[in-house]
Amino acid sequence: MTALTLTDRDDVLAVVLGSGVILWEPASDVRHKAIFQFEGWPKVRLKEGRTDPGGSLWVGSMQNNVNPDGSACSIEGKHGLLIRLDPDSRVSVHKTEIGISNTLAWSPDGLRLYFADTLANTIWAYDYDPATRNIGNERPFFQHFARGRPDGSTVDAEGYLWNSRFSGGCIVRVAPDGQVDRVIEMPVQNITTCIFGGPDRKTLYVTTAAAGAPPSDRLAGGLYAIQTTVSGLPENRFCVFGS
């Protein structure tokens, strides 16, 4: 599993796997037939996934960095794609030649998409068209930050992007104009993603990775909760059932 997203049925999640996307009912552990099979698998695998304001699921991919025996392998070249899966099962490709896809997040007004390539140490901003669900006007938003590289992100209700820094030991809150607002120090090195939750959406839940962590990171791979003074945004729902 590489990502999860809500659907328009409260009891069903869309699960992004390396090889495709399936629907899953957590309460009963019923796993439905794949609704999307990724043709690049196993040379290339899916990595990131999130639903847009219009109910389509966006997934990003990368060269598969895991050997059949589970050991890690190096990434050579830019084989990743940025793909949109619509509720009617249409599939469209919106970006190619990606090293490692990460960060899929929309601004509060739904008119801007943020997307990152970890290997390029760059987060781009795009104009998002609510009518067509297409993106355009790619431009660098946040790049060459010295601490680690961009992994997953979320956006708060004030429009600030919270970016997890893999191998950087921190989360950086970035203003809508691309300037650093603050840096949140973490007790481990590899920060993978973050999302707001709780009854008021003021708890930032943060995931971390043990893989590749130094021996001193004895808490690596843990899940953290940070109380904040700002609220997050409600998560969009994949409209797979059309309700």
Single out the residue of 184, 231, 228, 182 nearest to residue 208, CA to CA: 184
Long-range CB pairs of 119-122, under 8 A, 24+ apart, other chains included: 119/75, 119/78, 119/149, 121/145, 121/149, 121/150, 122/150
CA 162 to CA 171: how far, in whole Å?
6
CA 201 to CA 187: how far, in whole Å?
23
- The verdict on whether 151 is a catalytic residue reads yes
Whether the CB-CB separation of 190 and 213 falls below 8 Å is answered with yes
Chain length of the chain: 243
Give the active site residue among 52, 151, 156, 217: 151
Whether the CB-CB separation of 197 and 157 falls below 8 Å is answered with no
Calculate the alpha carbon distances from 93 to 5, 85, 90, 163 in Å. 20, 9, 10, 24
As given in the structure block, the two tokens for residue 84 are 């949109």
Active-site residue set: 151
